[in-house]
Amino acid sequence: MKKIGIIIFLLSFISSYSQSGPIKNFRILDSLIQKQAILFAEIIKTKNINKIRLNFSENPASWLVKQHFYSAFTEKKIEVNYESDTGNPILNVNIKTIAIDYLLYNQDNDSLIRNATVDIDANLSSSGNIEIISNGKSLFKDIISREDINFIKSDNEFANAPVPEKKKTFFEEIAIPFVVVTTAILTVVILFTVRSG
């Protein structure tokens, strides 16, 4: 009976491990944007603002930012006004950075460091006063395999990044060029030796 329990545990562990994989780039950025939107909604709620107009800077990911901001503000029971009502405060959302980038991982040539960055700030215009609101950056960092790049890519260009080339090994950097040059020199020497001899 104990063996059956161990086998069932191992099978469930293996199946859960095989189903999990690296998180897709879009999903990471989506959760970081959502986190930022919730923080902004909480700040606005603490200012006792119940009705607001939102403006967003242009960015390839602005549609996703809008979606999360509207959702977060609605959840905090802050009415988002779409018309240009001059009586309501305006939150101008500035999308600074929404990006993924890859860096070489020094300890393993087949792995990369993946960085996800979401940097959003805003200014709140209310009753003629302008207040700058910043939550700082939301960051995510992990190590992924080069083989997983195609799996984690997104249809959205902002969630992709160029992949750095592998570092060349000592053999590729020094040994192969040395062998090629030495072979060329020996070929020339042998050719002239045979010809003059």
| Domain region containing 78 | 22-188
Number of domains in the chain: 1
DSSP strand pairing (51-56 vs 79-80): parallel
Asked if residue 116 belongs to a domain, the reply is yes
| pLDDT tens profile 90-143 | 999 999 999 999 999 888 888 999 999 999 999 998 888 889 988 778 999 999
How far from 113 is each of 16, 95, 155, 164, CA to CA, in Å? Answer: 24, 24, 21, 10
Is the CB of residue 62 less than 8 Å from the CB of residue 56?
Answer: yes
pLDDT band at 190 (very low <50, low <70, confident <90, very high): confident
pTM as predicted: 0.75
Tokens matching residue 142: 């992990």
Q: Is residue 67 part of a domain?
A: yes
Helical H runs in 20-90?
Answer: 25-46, 62-75
pLDDT of residue 16: 47
Q: What is the CATH number of the domain that holds 104?
A: 3.30.160
The single residue listed with the structure tokens 């939301």 is: 138
- pLDDT tens across 145-185, in order? 999 999 999 999 999 999 888 876 666 667 777 778 888 88
Q: Return the residue matching tokens 């086998």.
A: 7
Mean pLDDT estimate for the chain: 85
Say if residues 119 and 65 touch (Cβ distance below 8 Å). no
Establish if 126 belongs to a structural domain.
yes
Q: Distance between CA atoms of 133 and 123, rounded to whole angstroms?
A: 6
